[in-house]
């Protein structure tokens, strides 16, 4: 994701608003701040995970496996839950396999499927990573009081429900 370091100042926003009159400066600034906080937290998380030779993709796979009662899942299910394509999941699993954090076993009942299991090495890796992760998340969220946190969640929910506005193609009014 783009690292939105440099949110435009008022002067620059005015310049853009002059050329593009539909601009609502306050909306744009809020939007860019949301993007920036998200990307900064994401980069921060990555830099923490990198200390353990992990990045978000592979870490998330380990977590998804740990959620399962028997520590087993399949590539398609993992891809679906992680929100990546199955091809990408193949690559992530290759990496995890190289470090023996997971194992691949052919499924008996459906021979197209492969079972992915969290190994004890994989569990050990999570046991190394997670305490520091939780500690840092706590520290981060101590920026807000309990009621601020709840308020933030509510605001995020409202925005989240609108998240599809970008995905609609531009509509040509004449064709409606």
Looking at the DSSP bridge assignments, the partners of residue 117 are 72, 103
Q: Quote helix, strand, coil % in the chain, to nearest 5.
A: 65, 5, 30
8 binds a second copy (CB under 8 A): yes
Site for a second copy in 98-157 (CB under 8 A): 127, 130-132, 134-144, 146, 148-149, 151-153, 155-157
What character string, x for contact with a second copy (CB under 8 A) and - otherwise, covers 23-42? xx-xxxxxx-xxxxxxxxxx
Report the nearest approach of a second copy to the CB of residue 32 (Å): 9
Q: What is the DSSP string of 69-95?
A: TTSEE-HHHHHHHHTS-HHHHHHHHHH
95 binds a second copy (CB under 8 A): no
Stretch near DNA under the rule CB under 7 A, chosen from 17-25, 34-42, 93-101, 143-151? 93-101
Which residues lie below 8 Å from residue 55, measured CB to CB, with a gap of 6+?
46, 49
Decide: 20 and 51 in contact? Cβ < 8 Å: no
110/146 with CB nearer a second copy = 146
Report the nearest approach of a second copy to the CB of residue 97 (Å): 20
Cα atoms in the Cβ-side hemisphere of radius 13 Å centred on 103? 9
Q: Which does 95 bind (CB under 5 to 8 A by kind): a second copy, DNA, none?
A: DNA
Looking at the DSSP bridge assignments, the partners of residue 116 are 73, 104
Among 13, 17, 29, 55, binds DNA (CB under 7 A): 55
Binding site for DNA (CB under 7 A): 2-3, 55-58, 74-77, 83-95, 104, 110-114
């Amino acid at each position: 994701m783009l690292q939105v370091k440099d949110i435009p100042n008022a002067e620059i926003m005015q310049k853009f608003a002059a050329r593009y009159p539909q601009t609502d400066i306050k909306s744009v600034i809020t939007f860019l701040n949301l993007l920036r906080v998200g990307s900064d937290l994401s980069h921060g998380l990555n830099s923490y995970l990198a200390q353990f030779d992990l990045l978000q993709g592979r870490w998330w796979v380990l977590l998804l496996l740990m959620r399962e009662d028997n520590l087993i899942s399949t590539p398609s299910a993992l891809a679906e839950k992680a929100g990546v394509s199955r091809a990408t999941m193949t690559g992530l699993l290759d990496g995890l396999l190289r470090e023996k954090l997971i194992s691949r076993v052919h499924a008996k009942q459906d021979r197209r499927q492969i079972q992915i299991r969290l190994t004890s090495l994989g569990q050990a890796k999570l046991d190394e990573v997670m305490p520091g992760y939780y500690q840092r998340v706590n520290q981060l969220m101590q920026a807000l009081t309990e009621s601020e946190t709840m308020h933030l969640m509510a605001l995020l929910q409202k925005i989240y429900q609108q998240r599809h506005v970008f995905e609609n193609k531009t509509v040509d009014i004449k064709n409606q």
